[in-house]
Structure 1
Amino acid sequence: MRIAVTGSIATDHLMSFPGRFAEQLVAEQLHTVSLSFLVDTLDVRRGGVGPNICFGMGLLGLSPVLIGSAGADFAEYRSWLDRHRVDTESVRISETQHTARFVCTTDADHNQIASFYTGAMSEARNIELQPVAERIGGLDLVLIGADDPAAMIRHTQECRERGYAFAADPSQQLARLEGEDIRTLVDGAAYLFSNEYERALIETKSGWSDEEILERVGVRITTLGAKGSRIDRKGEPPIFVTVPAEEAKADPTGVGDAFRAGFLAGVTWELGLERAAQIGSMLATLVIETVGTQEYELRRGHFLERFATAYGEAAAAEVSAHLA
């Protein structure tokens, strides 16, 4: 199954300030703030929803195609993804802009001051899907993740025009998108991904009820945090999937992307929706136990042992037949 993943490509620059921002702010001078914080640590992490999802799929033995826009500074990141089975040939390299960057400083009370530089991400709207399909011999599914809003709409419309099945995953961009745009991104999707809050936001901003959305999409997948996930289809009872027990809780960033990676692997292996969500939940658990969205490892034996504990030996045996 040939799966392409479109979405933001970014690096995260995370710094920690040992003091408290509140102690540095003077209420009467907030209109002329000029501050510099001496930070103790700097962590540079690979990020962006597109690479995060592709990385997880690569660990599971698949070779997804990453589609997005990056800067000339993408070379090292590209090498990392290439080593993890991700096809990066369709990443557009900007001639003028740097790769998108998230810069965040966190204080001792876990308050944050952050900036997001869109950079090359804004050029993703110039990417056409047909050349990608021609290069790899067709597209069986295109996941349209959070990216430049104009790019998300263009990719969705092209999927409809050319008959490519697509999965809608607007996530972080829902706050920016208007109702008409959300309806454009959702209508006709084979799969619709969201978390519980985004699920309600999609309904509120689109003006469509849950029933109306199920008339327009094939499968609706909602992640429920520690409660697991829910899968809905028109005329079918919902499927609820629990999450495996955590060995530790380090950082939740990237958990949703890992779930999508595992789910798409299950779809590729034709294991059914429940099993796909179980794979996604297991992969997401590995992420929450690790700091960084692409810093976790997948050890086959360890993965299957924990999968069997969570979902049973029969379920683990089905996954074992496909797991790299």
Structure 2
Amino acid sequence: MAYDTIMVFHDHFKNHILPEKVHILNVSFLVPVMRREYGGCAGNIAYNLKLLGEEPLIMATVGHDFEPYSQWLSQQHLSSQYIRVLDNQYTGQAYITTDEGGNQITAFHPGAMSFSQLQGVPTDGDISIGIVSPDGKDGMMLHAEQFAELDIPFIFDPGQGMPMFNGEELLKLVDQATWVTLNDYESELLQERTGLSLEQLAERVQALIITLGGQGSKIYSQGECTDIPAAQTASISDPTGCGDAYRAGLLYGLMNDLDWPTTGRIASLMGAIKIEQHGTQNHVFSMAEFRQRFHDNFGYTF
């Protein structure tokens, strides 16, 4: 769980950063546009799953400044049952400055996220599926182990947390997971750190999902690769949170026993809907609207 402070610089970073002077970098960007959004992988994925009619449970550690976010979750009818407040920490904070070329400079303060290992996978709930997304390293490893021990299938989604792990640790997490999802850059990094190809990694899980931005995605499963097209967008406003929306679509398809071509297309459409809105939790739709848009994009219904 995190607050995203998003600022827009009305120029290009390259016009103000001298490559030959980066060793003495001292720049200031005027950002007349600023928004504070509710974010973090857990909150974003849960928000999108709720739009799809599911009842997600957020497990996270947050700080003493979490009350506004807590109120937002309540308004969205999202449970805070497994969110733990640490009074001496801040909630995770991302400060993102975007230029007119779509380039971003981000500073991230993990805050309470660094203590995510204080939370354990609940054993008292009717949990059918889980996802381990970027969090504190110890927490990610613990929760993956707990999901495996409880025989709860889960997606391993290392995201921006991948640099924290070495090859041996990543292989252990892959082997514990039921499915793995990555973007194209993360897939290259995983191959480099483990020494395995995508096909070899896919053999260790039920499916390996690779997102490719505007080029759609690929799903490797049972020795086959399924190409998923990108859904059409009315506009492109903000890519932040698109990956989380996509992952919510994956979870929805898995929870409802849909095939991979349909699950991937649901995920693709979720990402397209998100990119049309600023922020990560500002888009809305009814399931009737979603099903109609799915049909308009892909020519069939689910």
TM over 0.5: yes
Structure 2 residue aligned with 1:40, among 32, 44, 52? 32
Which structure 1 segments of 5+ residues have no match? 1-8, 319-324
Deviation at 1:31, TM superposition (A): 4.1
Partner of 2:217: 229
Partner of 1:241: 228
Deviation at 1:69, TM superposition (A): 1.0
**Inter-partner Cα distance in structure 2 for 1:15 and 1:263:** 30
Matched, 1:308 2:295: yes
Deviation at 1:191, TM superposition (A): 1.0
Deviation at 1:72, TM superposition (A): 1.9
User: Structure 1 309/206 Cα, relative in aligned 2: closer, same or farther at 3 Å?
Assistant: same
Conservation of the 8 A alpha-carbon contact between 2:144 and 2:176: no
Deviation at 1:112, TM superposition (A): 4.6
Partner of 2:4: 12
Conservation of the 8 A alpha-carbon contact between 1:144 and 1:170: yes
Matched, 1:195 2:183: yes
**The structure with more radius of gyration:** 1
Matched, 1:206 2:194: yes
Per-residue CA deviation, residues 170-217 of structure 1 (Å, 9 max, x unaligned), is 011122321122112111321111112222221211122334323321
Deviation at 1:86, TM superposition (A): 2.4
Matched, 1:133 2:123: yes
How many residue pairs match? The answer is 301
Matched, 1:68 2:60: yes
Amino acid at match of 1:252: P
Which structure 2 segments of 5+ residues have no match? none
Partner of 1:271: 258
**Inter-partner Cα distance in structure 1 for 2:261 and 2:101:** 40
Amino acid at match of 2:46: C
Partner of 2:84: 92
**Inter-partner Cα distance in structure 2 for 1:295 and 1:195:** 23
- TM-score between both structures, scaled by the size of structure 1: 0.84
Per-residue CA deviation, residues 10-46 of structure 1 (Å, 9 max, x unaligned), is 111122344676558898796484x655531221011
- Percent identical residues: 31
User: Structure 1 312/126 Cα, relative in aligned 2: closer, same or farther at 3 Å?
Assistant: same
Deviation at 1:109, TM superposition (A): 6.2
User: Structure 1 238/38 Cα, relative in aligned 2: closer, same or farther at 3 Å?
Assistant: closer
Partner of 2:149: 161
User: Structure 1 73/27 Cα, relative in aligned 2: closer, same or farther at 3 Å?
Assistant: same
User: Structure 1 19/312 Cα, relative in aligned 2: closer, same or farther at 3 Å?
Assistant: closer
Per-residue CA deviation, residues 85-118 of structure 1 (Å, 9 max, x unaligned), is 4222101111200101011334566665432111
- TM-score between both structures, scaled by the size of structure 2: 0.90
Deviation at 1:269, TM superposition (A): 1.7
User: Structure 1 93/243 Cα, relative in aligned 2: closer, same or farther at 3 Å?
Assistant: same
Partner of 1:284: 271
